Amino acid sequence: MRVLVFGQSGQVARQLARRCPAEVMARFLGRDQADLLDPAACAAAIADCDVVINAAAWTAVDKAEAEETAATVVNGAAPRAMAERCAALGLPFLHISTDYVFDGTGEAPFRPDHPTAPLGAYGRSKLAGEQGVLAAGGRSLILRTSWVVSAHGANFVKTMLRLGRERDSLNVVADQIGGPTPAGAIADALYTAATAMAQGAPGGVHHFAGAPDLSWAGFARLIMTRAGLACEIHDIPSSAYPTPAKRPLNSRLDCTGFTAAFGLPRPDWRAGLDEILQELSDAA
Burial environment of residue 245 by CB neighbours within 10 A (0 to 12, 13 to 18, 19 or more) = middle
Answer whether residue 97 is part of any domain.
yes
Cβ-Cβ contacts under 8 Å for 151 (sequence gap 6 or more): 158, 276, 279, 280, 283
Res. 284: pLDDT tops 80? no
Cα separation, 19 vs 15, whole angstroms: 6
Domain annotation covers residue 32: yes
Q: What is the pLDDT of residues 18-67, one digit of tens each?
A: 999 999 999 999 999 999 999 999 999 999 999 999 999 999 999 999 99
Mean pLDDT (whole number) for 228-239: 97
**In sequence order, which residues have a C-beta less than 8 Å from that of residue 189 and are 6 or more positions away?**
143, 208, 258, 262, 264
Residues of the domain holding 261: 2-155+181-210+252-267
Q: How far apart are CA 68 and CA 63, in angstroms?
A: 8
Structural domain contains residue 192: yes
Is residue 165, in this structure, part of any structural domain at all? no
Structural domains in the chain (count)? 1
Supply the CATH number for residue 197's domain: 3.40.50.720
AA identity, residue 180 = P
Residue 132 has pLDDT above 90, yes or no: yes
Residues 192, 163: contact at Cβ < 8 Å?
A: no
161 inside domain: no
Domain membership flag for residue 11: yes
Domain contains 26 = yes
pLDDT at 283 over 90: no
Report CA-CA distances (Å) from 9 to 112, 144, 189, 196, 241. Answer: 28, 20, 19, 26, 29
Q: In the chain, what is the greatest distance between 2 CA atoms, to the nearest angstrom?
A: 57
| pLDDT 10s digits, 240-261 | 999 999 999 999 999 999 999 9
Q: Which residues are catalytic?
A: 122
Instruction: Answer yes or no: pTM beyond 0.85.
Output: yes
